[in-house]
Amino acid sequence: MINTNDFKNGITILFDGNIYSIIESQHVKPGKGAAIVKAKLKNLRTGSIVEQTFNSGIKIESARIEKRDSQFLYSMGDVYYFMNMETYEQLELNKNVLGDDAKFLKENLIVNITTYEGEILGIGLPDKVDLTVTNTEPGVKGNTTTGAMKDATLETGMNIRVPLFINEGDVILVSTKDGKYVSKA
């Protein structure tokens, strides 16, 4: 159990039958009445974000989340295969569990698989991944306006915008937060 006064970013709680991670919390003392705690919570099962108000000083059940390093091995259709780096057990995850994170997965990438009492909640990717450009138009000479971008397809099948100087076969860093080009690797 955790007191609402002790809410901090990143703490996981059980509330209304769901598992939430606290994104932001604020202790508020109105002019009249008791203090309250306003919290922005992310549902770890659905990914939705809700705002909730709690009375100050009440106890909420905490959720113990486990994160294990796993290596992405390969995918077949909508099934993705991972290997636990400690026990070497293989784990199969469906694409709907991974959501948009699936487009960043390439062979041998190390990810954190997040679980709660054996239930898989999702994966944690590194901040940036290096991916190879498999298809892009060549940059046109003279078209060097500041910030000019072109479309590129990466080895995972993801399409992003890259600067004109990027060519097929180049390895680039892509942010897993927003899916944008960061730099040439």
Find residue 80's DSSP bridge partners: 75, 93
| pTM (predicted TM-score) | 0.71
CATH topology assigned to domain 66-124: OB fold (Dihydrolipoamide Acetyltransferase, E2P) (2.40.50)
Q: Where in the chain is the domain with CATH 2.40.50.140?
A: 66-124, 128-184
Q: What pLDDT is recorded for position 30? A: 82
Q: Which residue has the tokens 């003279």?
A: 142
CA–CA dist 112, 185 (Å, integer): 23
Per CATH, which fold does 128-184 belong to? OB fold (Dihydrolipoamide Acetyltransferase, E2P) (2.40.50)
pLDDT value for 141: 62
Q: What is the pLDDT of residues 39-96, one digit of tens each?
A: 899 888 877 889 988 888 888 888 888 888 899 998 888 888 999 888 888 888 888 8
CATH 2.30.30.30 domain span(s) along the chain: 2-62
Given CATH 3.70.10.10, say whether it is the number of domain 2-62.
Answer: no
Please answer whether residues 19 and 73 qualify as being in contact, where contact means their C-beta atoms are separated by less than 8 angstroms: no
**Cα gap 59→15, rounded to integer Å:** 11
Concatenating the DSSP letter of every residue in 92-143 gives: EEEHHHHGGGGGG--TT-EEEEEEETTEEEEEE--SEEEEEEEEEPPPPTT-
d(CA 110, CA 125) in angstroms, rounded, equals: 8
